[in-house]
Structure 1
Amino acid sequence: MFFRFACLLLSMLLFSGVSRAEDPVREAQAVIANQLSAFASDDAETAYSFASPNIRSIYRSETQFLDMVRKNYPPVYKLGNYAFGRSKLVGGGELVLQEVLISGEEGQDWTAVYEMRLMDDGSYKVNGVRMKRNTTSEGI
């Protein structure tokens, strides 16, 4: 009886890990949402934790990173409403390109295209963002 229970428990754990790994878009979107929430709270430490090693090599501190976002990505930093647009997987999910449609200040609309990289530990990190002004989702 114990053996069956242990096998059932092991199967549940294995399948829950597999299903999670099979949804890279949802995982990438969760990271983006968490980083946007951190920006809204001026939580530099948390926002920086979602940056890829590439980004961290350029901006070596949380403060430098947050200052760069404030200066270069105000629609992302001073976020109004947003929604996820289209996404594109490259490879087996090693790279996810994710549109984020942003309604910015003073009625200006933006599209941010996030490049999300899969790390060795299975997490996704933000590896770059391209901003387009007054655009609609046209694909990636």
Structure 2
Amino acid sequence: MEVTDNDAITIRFVIEHQLAAFQKDDAQGAFAFASPAIQAQFGTPENFIQMVKISYPAVYRPRSVFFEEITTIQGNITQPVLVLAPDGVPLRALYFMEKQPDSTWRINGCFVVSVEGKKI
């Protein structure tokens, strides 16, 4: 699938707004940007935000974020985002994106991988 410039802008908007919702502990707001499959997996906004809080502290409370170029990983449209974790460790969050039947974009998973670098 080809990603248009408008798609790229929308994908960034979705991720930025989910990150902003995490900053405000807005479980409902953050959950709204998750794909239907992720919503079904966690059931409630509270379950979802609790999982992110525990398993993804770098995404839940990043010190900074930097969007890289969208790519495809194993057939998934993926937005890599460099994040600086609360403890100062640089990480790359790989957001798997899914276009919905109504043409909106939702987050269909996020994987955090290490980045070569030192603690800042």
If the length of structure 1 is used for normalisation, what is the TM-score?
Answer: 0.74
The runs of 5 or more residues in structure 1 that have no matched partner are 1-20
Distance 2:116 2:33 in 1: 26
Q: Compute the RMSD of aligned alpha carbons.
A: 1.9
Distance 2:44 2:86 in 1: 28
Count of aligned pairs: 113
**Is 2:39 aligned against 1:56?**
yes
CA displacement at 1:104 relative to structure 2: 1.4
- The change in CA–CA distance for 1:87 and 1:22 in structure 2 (over 3 A counts) is closer
Q: Percent of aligned positions with the same letter in both sequences?
A: 29
Match of 1:76 in 2: 59
Q: Report the 3-state secondary structure (helix = DSSP H, G, I; strand = E; otherwise coil) of the residue aligned with 1:114.
A: strand
Distance 2:44 2:18 in 1: 16
Name the one with the larger helix percent: 1
1:111·1:135 contact (CA, 8 Å) conserved in 2? no
Deviates more, 1:81-90 or 1:59-68: 81-90
**Deviations 1:9-61, CA, capped at 9 Å, x for gaps:** xxxxxxxxxxxx75211111110000000000100010000010110111000
CA displacement at 1:88 relative to structure 2: 1.7
If the length of structure 2 is used for normalisation, what is the TM-score?
Answer: 0.86
Greater Rg over alpha carbons, structure:
1
Match of 1:44 in 2: 27
Map 1:4-23; keep pairs closer than 5 Å: 23=6
Match of 1:32 in 2: 15
Moved over 4 A (4+): none
2:66·2:82 contact (CA, 8 Å) conserved in 1? yes
The runs of 5 or more residues in structure 2 that have no matched partner are none
